[in-house]
Amino acid sequence: MNNVKLSDIKVLIDEESIQKRIKEIANELNTIYKEEEVCVICVLKGAVMFATDLVRNLTMPLTMEFIRLSSYGSSTVSSGKVNAVEIKLPDLNNKNVIIIEDIVDTGLTAKFLLDFIAANFHTKSTKFVTLLDKKISRKTDIEPDYYCFDIDDKFVVGYGLDYNDLFRNLRFIGYADKSLLG
């Protein structure tokens, strides 16, 4: 069921602001890691736009991995349970790891992932970078190391984020009125 049309979506954060903020975060990461190699882990599908734009602004040697988790299904409210749909990672022992997420909401996905990495590897460092931080919905004590934007209690779409798998291709981050969302 999809009753939300593109014309229902209002701009929350425009393309220029997203790209400007990504450059700021990338500069901070470039300053921290300098020439050190990092392994960037992109959490599919939502973080794909953010991750690809962020890495193009990073200057250190880096490798990219992609994993798939899900907690929302087709709902706009977290199920409270994280499913590891696909996690295949190389040996991350002694590596600098940067996890890239689209949004930290309850924090359950971030916690699941950080626990998974800690349980399986002794990394040199692990940092969590998210495009959006919805602090108001937090149900864990997880805080991202970096976030681009702090948002309030809206269900957002665009720039990788979906509603029923649609709207990921929007160049901006937008939202629709809650009354339209199933």
The verdict on 161 binding ligand 5GP (CB under 6 A) reads: yes
- Please state, in angstroms and as integers, the Cα–Cα distance from residue 65 to each residue in 12, 97, 156, 177, following that order: 29, 10, 25, 35
Q: Which of 109, 147, 170, 173 binds ligand 5GP (CB under 6 A)?
A: 109
Q: Which of 25, 105, 126, 174 binds ligand 5GP (CB under 6 A)?
A: 105
Contact between 102 and ligand 5GP per CB under 6 A: yes
Residue at token pair 């977290």: 78
- SS3 string, 41-101, reads EEEECCCHHHHHHHHCCCCCCEEEEEEEEECCCCCCCCCCCCEEEECCCCCCCCCEEEEEE
Task: Decide if 105 is catalytic.
Answer: yes
Among 38, 46, 54, 98, binds ligand 5GP (CB under 6 A): 46
Question: Between 118 and 136, whose beta carbon lies closer to ligand 5GP?
Answer: 136
Binding site for ligand 5GP (CB under 6 A): 46, 71-72, 78, 101-110, 134, 155-157, 161-163
Residues taking part in catalysis? 105
